Amino acid sequence: MINSLFIVNTSCDILLEKHYKSVIHRSICDYFFDVQKKVEHPEDVLPVIATPHHYLINIYHNQLYLVAVTTTESPPLMVIEVLHRIVATFTEYFEECSDATIKENLVIVFEILDEVLDNGFPLTMELNVLQDLIKPPNFLRSIRNQVTGETNHSEVLPTGQLSNVPWRRAGVKYTNNEAYFDVIEEIDAIIDKQGATVSAEIQGYINCCCKLSGMPDLTMTLMNPRILDDVSFHPCVRFKKWENERVLSFVPPDGNFRLLSYHIGSQSMVAIPIYVRHNVVMQSGPAGKLELIVGPKQSMGKTLEEVVIEMNMPKPVLNCNLVPSHGKYSFDPTSKLLLWNIGKIEPGKPPTLKGSMSISGTAELECPAISVRFRINQLAVSGLKVNRLDVLGESYRCFKGVKYVTKAGKFQVRT
Amino acid sequence: MTDSKYFTTTKKGEIFELKNELNSDKKEKKREAVKKVIASMTVGKDVSALFPDVVNCMQTDNVELKKLVYLYLMNYAKSQPDLAIMAVNTFVKDCEDPNPLIRALAVRTMGCIRVDKITEYLCEPLRKCMKDEDPYVRKTAAVCVAKLHDINPTLVEDQGFVELLNDLLSDSNPMVVANAVAAITEINETRTVVKMNLQTVNKLLTALNECTEWGQVFILDALANYDPKDEREAQNICERISPRLAHANAAVVLSTVRVLMKLINMLPENSDFITQLVKKLAPPMVTLLSAEPEIQYVALRNINLIVQKRPDVLKQEMKVFFVKYNDPIYVKMEKLDIMIRLAQQNNISQVLSELKEYAAEVDVDFVRKAVRAIGRCAIKVEQSSEKCVATLLDLIQTKVNYVVQEAVVVIKDIFRKYPNRYENIISNLCENLDTLDEPEARASMIWIIGEYAERIDNADELLESFVEGFHDENTQVQLQLLTAVVKLFLKRPTDTQQLVQRVLSLATQDSDNPDLRDRGYIYWRLLSADPAAAKDVVLAEKPLISEETDLLEPSLLNQLVGYIGSLASVYHKPPTAFVDSTRAPLRGAPAAASSASTSSATPAAQDAIIVPTGTTTAAPAQPTVIPSQDNIIADLLSLDLNAPAAPAPSFPQTSTSVIPGLDDLLGGFDATTSSNPSIGGFSGLDILGGAPAAPAAPTSSSAPLGDLFGSLGGSDTGSIFPTSTGLNGYVAPKTNWLDATRGKGLEIQGTFARRAGTIYMEMTFNNKSLVPLSDFAIQFNTNSFGLTPASPIEPHVIQPNASLEINVPCRTNGPAAKTEPLTNLQVSPFLRENEINVVLAQNLILNSTKN
């Protein structure tokens, strides 16, 4: 499994190294840097790199790379999952996982790395167990520790480690018992020049925030469970029950977690709630033109909110002189990013962005694809609906709530 | 409050300051000091000088401080082994602590201290911990055995830890079981100590449902190494693990797929169960593609294998492989590969319009691959070829330099697949002649001109313009130009005589390149000796190229499917070929290394097998040929042939398995030798030494060729070469194909020989086992030569310690595979029910074709 772990940044500094078996000299990272220097974008580094005696499995996150070194045949997907989980853990502890936060919290980072893996095998990956073992840094707590002499470390065996429900702590207590569910659907789509859908898929999640005392056993029924034929569950969901009765039965982890994620493939029809009409002329000199019209389409009676249009212009585009009918636009001449923040689209007149661009050189340019972001509240575009939620095993009453959101995932319009 | 405060330094020197603080009486100060030490350590500063001071802090009730000191110990124990001993007592004491967290921590840390003296003390506490009442301690101890094995394998076996570990497989706690499996898997990698049996498999299946996601991966990977006895058992395992496909963890999903793909092979094909199972496989694979890009990459590499093995699994899912512009480049490339694999008549128009879209993107490598992909579509789906050609023409109109060049290369392949269909576009291609600056594109264009010289009015002018700068061209282009001009001459002899003479003299007199010179000489001879024969040879009808040129070789594919989700599946190489440096890596796999998955690479690679030069085994067998130099030559040649075949030039006209003519022989020749011009001189001689081989070429023109070689050898290089030894040619000595240990007592030595125009596989079977062996059968894998046994082996019985000579006549008209790796011929003798695979090494093939 994982022999050593290096955290490096995009400017080829090694922030940290951790060895789970014999020490591998940090010069092994030179192989990684060689590859890193060759790629154009930082995210293009190949996830699995072979060197004469080692394999470097790496992930990229926020200007950082986590590089795991392995010498034996180990499942790369497991290593990648572990690395992503480590990033998620850091994000939970330090609010973001970045060069700066890692450097600021080196000791805690090191303690966490020591706790998550043992001999390269995953040891304590469950976030709530980890937080029991090593308390996240927190201003209030550090003052309290100063006063009372307590430490950030737990002295007792974390209870979740060995129970049948390793994801849940024992003895949870709340004065207000509440369970909130967010049904989030992201539309991944490719729209071609003519406005026809090339491919469209829905990536859906049900995220929960459960603050329930004791050991509640929840049962959730859906109005139309048949929609979900490609689902991945949190380990807490009883799979047999789902297979036989199509109900979700589970003892929830404490706090925030993702209950399930689902995928609605390209074979079923996915309603596209937005259209983008474009007319872009990429000509040298001041003759370049750009015109965009955005409007709702099959919106199912809901309004489009937080609509943002992005275009990564080619390098010869020097500047843009555009007039938006709604919202604000900006063009960054260094990164060449054109950003049009429309906000809410009111029914009636569709927002437009019109104007000219100045382009240098004479080479013929390809117009860049348009990436679109939007959000529709109170709608799950697939039609998924939660029917009811029952709490068993505990006698208290609890507040329950379900929220639906549809968002753009990787939504792009070709030009 | 951040940790950056630990890095503030004072004038007196950091180490000095820390030393004082570590020895402070205040607990709080001590802890802060240790934190500072750890912080320095993590960024790579050397704080080993503080070893005794830090170790002194170890005896504490504070868990955090203890953990920090342990972290320090793990890092520096190796450099200070004598001081590390000081810590042993505390460890041993901690292993008895009433708090299971402390016990586990102690045993865990001890395993990480890789100092021999400490490991000795570790054994007793570890044994106790493996039987600890607390499962948390037991599961930590299980991992510790793997650590110990890494440091000192004999100690683990002598002390009986393997048995203890085996006992943990039956532990009541699933987490303990999972960790025991993980430890065993790691130990098994160096030496198999524990084998799976039905009983343990059942225990694992029970634990599977209850352990953590990571434990599930370990258990599933262990299950993948188990071979069920019968169908029923396999089906049972499939049923019990298939719910794991719905797990949120990608590693669990892929490991499940791995076990299922393996077990499916054991079940009767076309059964309802299989149909159901295959249906279940598709959605989770698709889901993996919406995960992080790194996961997508590994998933795509595996999907590539699965699609080759079972094309029906994902045939409906073409759209999920469509490329998004913000995908990382490595994901884009893999998606493109899979799109081609899934391309069929019913979805081809969709695929084509996508590919056209991609060809307009900015990333050069991706665009090139997209253009090639269009060509592959044309070759794969005949109905679409028209559309593909039209698309390619559109792309050529864009005049984007690299797009045009790539398009020319693929159009050449399309011509080879559909001759006499799209020649009307040649004029469009000729318009772009000047923009081609890459050797491959130039060579392709020249090939097209030569091949269709009769339809291009100004073919002579065009070729002449290339001849102008003959010496500045790449070898690949030069060779192609030579052939093209000869073709032109044979087609239009009247007005091109001058041109051909000029090119031949350029190639033979003014060139330093032996390959070029030799090819030039042979054409020259051929043309002057017998123009009719020359026509037969040079203008012989070319075989069509096959549609899938980058498929993995079937046996390799089968092997790799068993390793889904592992590094082997990412690299598409068997695990034996990498990872452990102690295991001999596969030699002679350079052909596989050039994973340029294009059709034009194929003929070149195939040429490599028709190399007439001797190899290490061949050279000593010819001591009389060049008595004084043979050793040097042997060395040089072996050097040459083992060097990875550098950019293999493409020879479109040489793609056949039945050796069609002379330029094949030569094409092959330079495919390997051109990579090293300094020894080319020797190889050049050697081709003449190999002259006796030529008469055996199974074409009608073999006789004049033999003549040619004979006279050439005589006239040009003096009398050091013996004249033809007749039709039988040189036979390589038998070499060991199958070792008795691998063949369950059967040892096979063999070679290939040619007698009277037929290839014989000569084998000596030695029975080294204690029982008589009988019922032999022989099977060749589909190979690049189209070699198949002409008759089955006659029934024989070999008594123990007896041996038997078997000659199997072979035909070369079997199905020829154009796959990688091309230089291995796999022969499978069947022995009763035990199949034994013999992979003949590369050099054997080289010999066999020589004859």
- The predicted-structure confidence for B720-751, as pLDDT tens digits, reads as follows 334 344 445 567 777 777 776 666 667 778 87
Residue B504 lies in a domain: yes
Q: What's the pLDDT at B673?
A: 35
Judged by average pLDDT, the poorest of A80-89, B93-102, B522-531, B678-687 is B678-687
- Whether B818 is covered by a domain: the verdict is yes
Q: Is residue A169 part of a domain?
A: no
Q: Is residue B471 part of a domain?
A: yes
Residue from B694, B766, B775, B703 nearest B737 by CA: B766
Residue B820 DSSP class: B
More confident residue, B470 or B592: B470
- Chosen domain end from B507, B534, B549: B549
> Among all residues of chain B, which has the CA nearest to that of A84?
B292
Q: What pLDDT is attached to residue B33?
A: 85
Pick the last residue of a domain from B514, B532, B549: B549
Residue A251 resides in a domain: yes
Q: Which chain A residue shows the shortest CA-CA distance from B319?
A: A199
Looking at the fold, whether A191 and A287 belong to one and the same domain comes out as no
Compare CB distances from A106 to B3, B284, B325 and report the shortest one's residue: B3
Predicted confidence at residue B174, as pLDDT, reads: 86
Q: Is residue A290 part of a domain?
A: yes
Mutate to test the interface with B, among A135, A147, A232, A257 (most CBs of B within 10 A): A232
Q: What are the tens digits of pLDDT across the range B283-342?
A: 888 888 888 999 999 999 999 999 888 888 888 888 889 998 888 999 999 999 999 888
Q: Is the peptide bond before B821 cis (omega within 30 degrees of 0)?
A: yes
Residues of B with Cβ-Cβ distance to A230 under 8 angstroms: 283-284, 286-287
Across the range B3-18, mean pLDDT stands at 63
A137 interaction partners in chain B (CB closer than 8 Å): 1-2
Q: For chain B, say whether A103 makes contact (Cβ under 8 Å).
A: yes
Q: Which residues of B touch A67 (CB under 8 A)?
A: none
Residue B452 CA to residue B444 CA, distance in Å, equals 12
Considering the domain architecture, whether residues A346 and A334 belong to the same structural domain is answered as yes
Is A367 within a domain?
yes
Look at A107 and B325 and tell me if their CB atoms are within 8 Å.
Answer: no
* Residue, of B66 and B709, whose pLDDT is higher: B66
* A207 and A314 inside one domain: no
Q: How far is CA A199 from CA B10, B344, B435, B720, in A?
A: 62, 18, 37, 70
B219 vs B650, higher pLDDT = B219
The label of the residue with tokens 């262990």 reads B222
CATH of the domain at A14: 3.30.450.60
- How far from B843 is each of B613, B800, B825, CA to CA, in Å? 11, 31, 10
CATH of the domain at B740: 2.60.40.1150
Q: Which residue has the higher pLDDT, A80 or B676?
A: A80
Average pLDDT over residues B141-145: 90
On the question of pLDDT at B839 being above 90, the answer is no
Same domain, A205 and A281: no
If you average pLDDT over each of A135-144, B70-79, B708-717, B763-772, which comes out highest? Answer: B70-79
Q: Is residue B618 within 8 Å of residue B690, measured between CB atoms?
A: no
Nearby residues of B21 by Cβ (< 8 Å), 6 or more positions away: B29, B30, B32, B33, B36
Can you tell me the mean pLDDT for B237-241? Answer: 90
Please state which of the ranges A323-327, A366-370, B314-318, B820-824 shows the lowest mean pLDDT. B820-824
Mean pLDDT to the nearest integer, B780-795: 70
**Chain B touched by A201 (CB under 8 Å):** yes
CATH of the domain at A211: 2.60.40.1170
A405: pLDDT confidence band, cut at 50, 70 and 90? very high
Same domain as A249, residue A395 = yes
Size of interface A-B (CB pairs under 8 A): 260
Residue A7 has pLDDT above 90, yes or no: yes
B34-57 pLDDT tens trace = 888 888 887 777 888 888 888 877
Number of domains forming the structure of chain A: 3
Which of A367, A349, A382 is closest to A412 using CA atoms? A367
| pLDDT over 80 at B212, yes or no | yes
Check CB contact under 8 Å for B287 and A263: yes
Which residue spans within B709-757 are E strands per DSSP? Answer: 735-738, 746-755
Q: Judge whether B521 lies within some domain.
A: yes
Is A199 within 8 Å of chain B by CB? yes
pLDDT cut 90: percent of chain B above it = 6
Name residue, tokens 């889901």.
B287
pLDDT of residue A80: 93
- Does A112 fall in a domain? yes
Mean pLDDT of B640-659: 38
A296: in domain? yes
The pLDDT, as a whole number, for residue A283 is 76
Q: What is the mean pLDDT of chain B?
A: 73
pTM of the full structure = 0.72
Same-domain check for residues A134 and A8: yes
Same domain? For A22 and A134 the reply is: yes
A171 is a domain residue: no
Same domain, A303 and A224: no
Q: Provide the pLDDT for residue A302.
A: 82
What range does the domain containing B462 cover? 438-549
- How many domains does chain B contain in total? 2
By C-alpha distance, which of B170, B249, B215 is closest to A162? B215
Say which of B1, B38, B295 has its CB closest to residue A142: B1
Question: What is the pLDDT at residue B652?
Answer: 40
Q: What is the mean pLDDT of residues A28-44?
A: 90
User: What's the confidence (pLDDT) of residue B803?
Assistant: 79
Taking CB atoms and an 8 Å cutoff, what residues of chain A touch B62? Answer: 151, 153
Chain B residues closer than 8 Å to A410 by CB: 324, 326
Q: The domain containing residue A387 runs over which residues?
A: 178-270+379-413
Does residue B28 belong to the interface with chain A, where contact is any CB pair within 8 Å?
Answer: yes
Specify the pLDDT at position A141: 57
Q: Would you say residue B485 has pLDDT above 70?
A: yes
Residue B607: the pLDDT is: 36
Residue A357: strand pairing partners: A288, A320
Please tell me whether residues A337 and A388 are part of one structural domain.
no
Please indicate, yes or no, whether residues A292 and A228 belong to a single structural domain of this protein. Answer: no
Band (B530; pLDDT cuts 50, 70, 90): confident
Q: How many CB atoms lie within 10 A of CB A184?
A: 18
Dihedral sign, CA of B428, B431, B434, B435? negative
What pLDDT is recorded for position A184?
93
For B809-829, write each residue's pLDDT tens digit. 777 776 665 554 444 555 555
What is the predicted pLDDT for the residue at A143? 60
Residue that is last in its domain, among B504, B534, B549? B549
Res A290: pLDDT: 87
Residues A50 and B593: their CA atoms lie apart, in Å, by 13
Q: Which residues of B touch A44 (CB under 8 A)?
A: 328-330
Name the strand (E) or helix (H) holding B166: helix B161-168
pLDDT (0 to 100) of residue B220: 92
Residue with tokens 């033809």: B724
Q: Is residue A168 one of the residues assigned to a domain?
A: no
**CA of B220, closest CA in chain A: separation in Å?**
11
In this prediction, residue B540 has a pLDDT band, given cuts at 50, 70 and 90, of confident
In a domain, residue B251? The reply is: no
Domain identity same for A386 and A306? no
A290 and A196 in a single domain? The answer is no
**B660 vs A193, higher pLDDT:** A193
Q: How far apart are CA A118 and CA B182, in angstroms?
A: 11
In a domain, B450, yes or no: yes
For residue B623, being part of any structural domain is answered with: no
